[in-house]
């Protein structure tokens, strides 16, 4: 009787170990499997990535895009926007660079928050790459050039001839 119990416990332990190994293998394979699934079905693919591959540029019109930045008085940094406005065609892939300068004697961690004018233009301003997607870390007195890669959607209403993109940089507690 005791041997039967010991044999049953050993068999159960083996099954549990096999289940644990199988669960670990499944968890390890889940990320690449999910990626393949999304590629096959087209699910969870960012609309901005689709726009980046879009070759349908509306060359019949241009939209003036003003790049702006806002700096708080007494802040330990300076965010500098590109100095000249640009005038891309809707559907055209555009890259601009902002500059962030840490003016302080200590490291800086922060995040930029965008705003748009007119506000309804935000729905048509598709950022593919932006420094605002993640926090920025700068050493004392470090300068950083930060790209913004975007496309103005072809569906931008014709009555919007000027779009302003402004960033305000906020310091965050270091995590």
Note whether 101 and 145 are same-domain residues. Answer: yes
Q: What is the pLDDT of residue 131?
A: 87
Query: For residue 21, is pLDDT > 60?
Result: yes
Query: For residue 4, is pLDDT > 80?
Result: no
Q: What is the pLDDT of residue 53?
A: 58
Note whether 33 and 61 are same-domain residues. Answer: no
User: What's the number of domains the chain is made of?
Assistant: 2
Tell me the per-residue pLDDT of 23-69, one tens digit each, with 9 for 90 and over. 766 665 656 665 665 555 555 555 545 555 555 888 899 999 999 99
Note whether 36 and 57 are same-domain residues. Answer: no
Note whether 63 and 121 are same-domain residues. Answer: yes
pTM, entire model = 0.65
Domain extent, residue 69, equals: 52-171
Note whether 101 and 129 are same-domain residues. Answer: yes
Burial classification of residue 150, based on how many CB atoms lie within 10 Å of its CB (0-12 exposed, 13-18 middle, 19 or more buried):
buried
Note whether 36 and 63 are same-domain residues. Answer: no
The CATH number for 78's domain is 2.60.370.10
Rounded Cα gap, residues 120 and 130, in angstroms: 20
Residue percentage of the chain with pLDDT more than 70: 79
Note whether 112 and 157 are same-domain residues. Answer: yes
DSSP secondary structure letters along 113-173? EEEEESGGGGGGEEEEEEGGGS-EEE-TT-EEEEEEEEEE-TTS-TT--EEEEEEEEEE--
The residue assigned the tokens 């890259």 is: 95
Q: What is the pLDDT of residue 160?
A: 92
Residue of 52, 120, 59, 63 lying closest to 86 (CA atoms): 63
Note whether 36 and 69 are same-domain residues. Answer: no
User: What confidence tier does 10 reach under pLDDT thresholds 50, 70, 90?
Assistant: confident
Query: For residue 120, is pLDDT > 90?
Result: yes
């Amino acid at each position: 009787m005791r041997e039967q119990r010991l044999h049953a416990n050993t068999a159960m332990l083996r099954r549990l170990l096999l289940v644990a190994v199988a669960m670990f293998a499944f968890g390890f394979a889940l990320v690449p499997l999910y990626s393949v699934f999304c590629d096959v079905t087209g699910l969870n693919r960012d609309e901005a990535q689709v726009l980046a591959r879009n070759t349908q540029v509306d060359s019949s019109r241009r939209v003036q895009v003003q790049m702006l930045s806002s700096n708080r008085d007494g802040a330990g940094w300076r965010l500098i926007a590109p100095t000249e406005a640009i005038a891309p065609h809707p559907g055209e892939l555009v890259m601009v660079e902002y500059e962030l300068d840490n003016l302080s004697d200590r490291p800086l961690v922060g995040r930029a928050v965008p705003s748009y004018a007119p506000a309804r233009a935000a729905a048509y301003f598709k950022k593919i790459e932006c420094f605002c997607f993640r926090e920025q870390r700068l050493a004392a007195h470090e300068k950083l050039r930060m790209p913004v890669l975007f496309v103005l959607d072809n569906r931008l209403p014709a009555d919007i001839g000027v779009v302003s993109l402004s960033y305000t940089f906020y310091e965050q507690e270091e995590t």
